Structure 1
Amino acid sequence: MTTFDDRENAFENKFAHDEEMKFRAEARRNKLVGLWAAGLLGKTAAEADAYARDVIAADFQEAGEEDVYRKLAADLGHRADEMTIRAKMSELMVEAKRQIMNEA
């Protein structure tokens, strides 16, 4: 193998790793934001876990986080406005990344 091939493989491996970490962080963020929303909705612990799984599943409807936002906005109604939901999603993305980095 040439040096070029080695570099190409290294870049491909880094890209794959970065994409996996991004996916894990988004899934963790969705779980955390689902638990936050479940608290606002007054759900029990078991109901909150189920709701968090529903929020995670909502992210698979389309690329990006708009599908998650729409689910939260529809479910929360008057309990949280757009700015509050989006701020919490951003805040919990930072927390999700921190948690994943601490696990590694």
Structure 2
Amino acid sequence: MTTFDDRERAYETKFALDAELRFKAEARRNRLLGEWAAGLMGMQGDEARRYAMTIVTSDFEATGAHDVSSKLAADLEGRADEAEIRAKMTELMEVARKQVIGENQ
């Protein structure tokens, strides 16, 4: 095996790991967003957890975060606007990323 092959394998492994961590962080962010939104709607306990899972699964409907923000905007009409939702998504992505990285160390 050559150095080039070793290097190529290392890049492929890193790419796969980065993709997995990104997926986990996005799913975590969506759950955290769901919990935040559930709180704004007055949900607690199991109801809030179930709602948070609907946010996680809504991300599988289309590529990108637009499906999540659209669902939240519709559900939170009058409670949070699009700008607030986007800001919360950015904030919680950083929280989720730190949590996932911390779990994988």
In the TM superposition, 1:1-104 aligns within 5 A as: 1-104=1-104
SS in 1 for 2:13: helix
State how far apart, in whole Å, the 1-side matches of 2:98 and 2:6 are.
31
Q: Which runs of 4+ in 1 moved over 6 A?
A: none
CA displacement, residues 5-41 of structure 1 (integer Å, 9 cap, x when unaligned)? 1110000000000000000000000000000000001
SS in 1 for 2:99: helix
Q: Which amino acid aligns with 2:11?
A: F
Give 1:99 shift.
0.9
Q: Greater helix percent: which structure?
A: 1
SS in 2 for 1:61: coil
Unaligned runs of 5+ in 1: none
Structural RMSD (CA):
0.6
Give 1:98 shift.
1.0
* TM-score scaled by length of structure 2: 0.97
**Percent of residue pairs identical:** 58
Unaligned runs of 5+ in 2: none
Alignment: residue pair count: 104
